[in-house]
Amino acid sequence: MKSMSEQLQTPAIQNQPPVAEGDASALGGNVTQPFDEEVYAQKVEFLEGRLEKWTTEALALEGARLTEAFGGHNEASRQEVWETIKQYKARRAALDVANLLGARTDSWSKPEDKKDIFDKITSKVAWDVRGSLDPDREMTGVDVANFNIGAELDAFVDSAASRDPATVAKATATIRLLVAQGAYKFHRWGRGDQLKTALELGATFTEWVPDFDPHKAGMPEVRDDLINSLAALQVDNQTKPNYRHAKPERNHLFSDLSNCLTILNRAEAHLFLRDNDISLPPVGQQPPVPQQ
């Protein structure tokens, strides 16, 4: 199956000749028109729809792979696929957070009056994880106290600093840390709040900050993780049909994962539209089917 960018860059987009202004009969081309916020939103929605189809296909393939990895349908029906996957991912995400914090010790350990917004957000993560801002001392962190770190970074997109490459790089590293911590919180505690906050920041920055690269913020990696996690939950339901009723506490996990993947699709659509333009198909006309 093609990657997301390849699904968007189908021949219908790549090989279409330049579309004359006002011609909306084709998908793709170099359409140069005054910016229209409503039309842009429609283009984002259109691309999100294509990426949603890609995600559905990826989930089906990942579900089949997991089922086979667990020994087939009968063997998977005797095992806790999601529990196995989430424990592994929680450990891996915790290590990722620790490594990212270790690389930014100078940020979270400096005096409070010397910290900028990125240092302060990093310090909140460090305190939550380590229980101390002393680099030579580590206690057991609170770990479950804060599920919304970094929301205040949303205001950065309207600041003059959002056009400074060095500052954007620091913002990118901060969002990367928040994404990793969000992945940990979700897989360790079953709470998607932090992850959704981080991914919403990534999508907003992708739309409004030209130098922000969501790939450097860890968003493709977390997409793969979330597809794997959602597929694991689906495999449990498919191989153990009673789980749909026996484990209602898992319902919010399905919802959180679906919402996070939707946010990631939106970010990918914004990223695609930075360097490409599309002409929407006429109303009532079905969009071209992505070629395999």
Per residue in 113-163, pLDDT tens?
Answer: 999 999 999 999 999 888 889 888 877 766 666 678 999 999 999 888 889
- For the record, the structure tokens of 248 come out as 């209602």
Q: CA nearest 52: which of 259, 196, 219?
A: 259
User: What pLDDT does residue 132 have?
Assistant: 86
User: What pLDDT does residue 36 have?
Assistant: 80
Lowest mean per-residue pLDDT among 21-35, 123-137, 171-185: 21-35
Banded pLDDT at 281 (limits 50, 70, 90) = confident
Report yes or no: 101 and 126 within 8 Å, Cβ to Cβ. Answer: yes
pLDDT digits (tens, 9 = 90+) for 46-93: 999 999 999 999 999 999 999 999 999 999 999 999 999 999 999 999
| 283 pLDDT higher than 90 | no
Q: CA nearest 76: which of 233, 242, 239?
A: 239
Tell me the C-alpha distance between 216 and 114, whole Å: 26
Report yes or no: 70 and 81 within 8 Å, Cβ to Cβ. Answer: yes
CA separation, residue 183 to residues 147, 234, 256, 290, 292 (Å): 11, 19, 11, 30, 31
User: What pLDDT does residue 34 have?
Assistant: 61
Give the mean pLDDT of 157-181. 94
Spell out a b/e string for 114-132, using b for 16 or more CB atoms within 10 Å of the CB, else e: ebebbbbbbbbbbbbbbee
